[in-house]
Amino acid sequence: MTKLSEVLDVGGQTWSGGAAFVEGGFCAVEDAKISVLDLGVTRSDCTYDVAHVWRGRFYRLDDHLDRFFAGMSALRLDPGYGRIELEQILHSCVSRAGLRDAYVSMTCTRGRMPLGSRDLRTAHHTFYCFALPFVWINTPEKQTQGGSLWISSIPRIPPESVDSRVKNYHWLDLDRAQLDAYGHGADLVVLRDASGAITEGPGYNIFAYWDGAWHTPSHGVLAGITRRSVIELVEESDTRIEQGPVSAEQLRGASEVLVTSTAGGVMPVTTIDGHPVGSGEPGQISEDLRRRYWARHRDPAWSTPVRYAANHADPQSPAGEDSSP
Ligand code: PLP
């Protein structure tokens, strides 16, 4: 197999639709393929993470890598690369895609067992990643109006079965709920656990504001990096934040509601099950959180510049550009 250093050094070619790293080499994202026999495909036996690049800087890449490595360790997966190599590969994907605003996904699957084997311990694990143009759950235009949320009756897979803190591809409950939500005219959906408590949605955590405090579920959810950012921003503004059970009634009665994700940031919700949240427009406190979230993207405490290779496209920021979407 070619050494990583040799592959990383090869430059020149850029793939503006997205660049991937798979089977030890880089390629256009459309050409990235894994085997139909991969246990990631046949059993969703894998973990993944999604980071993002905004205006040429990774946001909290270390936190994403910490979560990815913790997930792989929980599932006894080995990507075959160390953390520094993995970071170099991610930077190189963004550089090769020539992107300043990117969605950067990394996955490690159980991979393939030798033909005839059914012993998971014999599997050779697969690592792949890719950088795509930034993906929005709700576009910035949509965020200024606010999203419509449906509270699903489909229960979330219990975390005792599939640990929600290990980011995973067990999305059939989420996808079924999302399809139901479309049928009810909503673009976002949130699922409850067996006790009826609100958990999370397909790709996002949820926050609700009532009685002078923000509330966010803490059980049966992914510890989202955007969720963590919002918790910190709320604490910075000396507002109370409660991490614990949230009922459907509390969510419906909240004066402000928002969902958080790497794919879109802090996204206000203005209707729940067809009824307005508060005034029916994005609230002041949500807007303030959203503004401060994006401002962090140019702060070196939270972001690191992409190491663009000189021989790839040179996506320099125009002078004076700010970080709001
Ligand atoms: N919950 C689930 C199920 C997710 O898949 C995601 C992200 O994809 C999130 C929450 C939000 O996490 P983050 O803020 O790290 O993107």
pLDDT digits (tens, 9 = 90+) for 41-92: 999 999 999 999 999 999 999 999 999 999 999 999 999 999 999 999 999 9
pTM of the model: 0.96
User: Residue 48 corresponds to which tokens in the numbers above?
Assistant: 């993944």
pLDDT digits (tens, 9 = 90+) for 278-311: 999 999 999 999 999 999 999 999 999 999 988 7
User: Residue 193 corresponds to which tokens in the numbers above?
Assistant: 């656990």
Residues contacting residue 31 through CB under 8 Å, at least 6 positions apart:
20
Structure confidence at residue 285 (pLDDT): 97
User: Residue 109 corresponds to which tokens in the numbers above?
Assistant: 């699957």
Rounded Cα gap, residues 46 and 75, in angstroms: 8
Domains in the chain, please, with CATH?
A: 4-135 (3.30.470.10), 140-298 (3.20.10.10)
Our answer on whether the CB atom of 189 is closer than 6 Å to any ligand 1 atom is: no
User: Residue 167 corresponds to which tokens in the numbers above?
Assistant: 């980011």
Residue showing tokens 């579920």:
217
Residue 74 CB coordination number (10 Å): 12
Rounded Cα gap, residues 251 and 258, in angstroms: 10
- Contact by Cβ (8 Å): 147, 138: yes
Structure confidence at residue 170 (pLDDT): 97
**Three-class DSSP labels, 12-27:** CCCCCCCEEEECCEEE
- Contact by Cβ (8 Å): 100, 76: no
User: Residue 81 corresponds to which tokens in the numbers above?
Assistant: 């690369």
Which of ligand 1's atoms lies nearest the C-alpha of 262? Answer: 16
Name 20's bridge partners. Answer: 27, 130
The residue whose CA is least distant from atom 4 of ligand 1 is 203
Structure confidence at residue 16 (pLDDT): 85
Residue 101 CB coordination number (10 Å): 16
Rounded Cα gap, residues 79 and 110, in angstroms: 9
Our answer on whether the CB atom of 315 is closer than 6 Å to any ligand 1 atom is: no
Structure confidence at residue 282 (pLDDT): 97
Q: Residue 46's closest CA among 128, 117, 119, 122?
A: 128
Our answer on whether the CB atom of 261 is closer than 6 Å to any ligand 1 atom is: yes
Our answer on whether the CB atom of 224 is closer than 6 Å to any ligand 1 atom is: yes
Rounded Cα gap, residues 188 and 208, in angstroms: 15
- Contact by Cβ (8 Å): 262, 48: no
pLDDT digits (tens, 9 = 90+) for 180-204: 999 999 999 999 999 999 999 999 9
User: Residue 212 corresponds to which tokens in the numbers above?
Assistant: 């002078």
Q: Residue 27's closest CA among 116, 97, 80?
A: 97
Does the pLDDT of residue 152 top 60, yes or no? yes
Name 103's bridge partners. Answer: 52, 132
Confidence at 320, pLDDT banded by 50, 70, 90: low
Our answer on whether the CB atom of 269 is closer than 6 Å to any ligand 1 atom is: no
